Each structure stands twice: as C-alpha cells, then as structure tokens.
Amino acid sequence: MPRLEYFLVAEATSVDQGTNKISIFNVIEELRSPQWPATVPVMTAVGALEASEEDKGKEFQAIVRVSGDALSEPRDFPLNFELNTKRQRLLFRINALRVERPGAIVVSLLLNGQHLAEHRVVTETARAGEQ
C-alpha cells in the first residue's frame, strides 16, 4: 500500500508545467460567515502518496469524503488511478460546498476504502466587521 506523504485542504493550487512543482495557496483551517447557510465557492484537497515497488502498475481508488456536523450530508469525490511513478499527487476540486451551520467540516482521504488522513475545518459565525 502506498505511504501518505501529506494531505491538506486549501483554497487553490497551481502546478508549474515546466518543473511539475506544486504551489498551495491559502490553507483552509477555519471558515467564518455572518450568516448560515453559506457556500464555499471552491476548495482543493491535495495529497501525495509514495509508492513502493510492489505498488507500481496496480490500480487504486482514492476518495475524498467531505462530512461533519456543519454539513447536511457527506459528499464523496472519487479518483481512480494506476501507480506508474514513485510519487502520486492527488488533487480534488470541491466546488460550491454548502455549509449549513457552525461546527466542523471533516475532509477525509481514503485509499481503497482505508482511511489515510483527515483535515478539519472549523466553521464559526463571524462577529460584526469580521469576515
């Protein structure tokens, strides 16, 4: 089974086409809104797996599951891939996430059904003059 190197949720990412380096912008740790429900326009879950020799050529399914008490129901974002390199980058774009109330959003990464990691986002009601 591949080893997880990192996993987090950010506002956006950019991959340099010449060097294949990834830039991660605005890691999301908390969200504040003056009223609920609110919509998060876009979030990107990003991770990287390191493959062992026995993983190469095998097919895997990664799922990002977005759940938590701030949401009305969980959402899954699957990605099927074959490991052909030493490192596999995972990018999941989450559009128009409706957050119902203050609480927590839990973004989990599963690989072939096995839980690998999670990133928690706290949601709060913004105070006057705060966003």
Q: What is the pLDDT of residues 51-77, one digit of tens each?
A: 999 999 999 999 999 999 999 999 999
State the CATH number of the domain containing residue 105: 2.60.40.2560
3-49 pLDDT, tens digit each: 999 999 999 999 999 999 999 999 999 999 999 999 999 999 999 99
∠ CA 26-12-128, rounded to 5°: 45
Asked whether residue 130 is assigned to any structural domain, the reply reads: no
Answer yes or no: is 131 within a domain: no
pTM check: above 0.85: yes
Is 42 within a domain?
yes
Look at the chain and report how many structural domains it folds into.
Answer: 1
Query: Does 54 fall in a domain?
Result: yes
Instruction: Write the CA distances from 52 to 11, 20, 30, integer angstroms.
Output: 30, 21, 35
The boundaries of the domain holding residue 59 are: 3-125
Q: Which of 121, 119, 128, 116 is nearest to 88 (CA)?
A: 116
8 Å CB contact between 105 and 120: yes
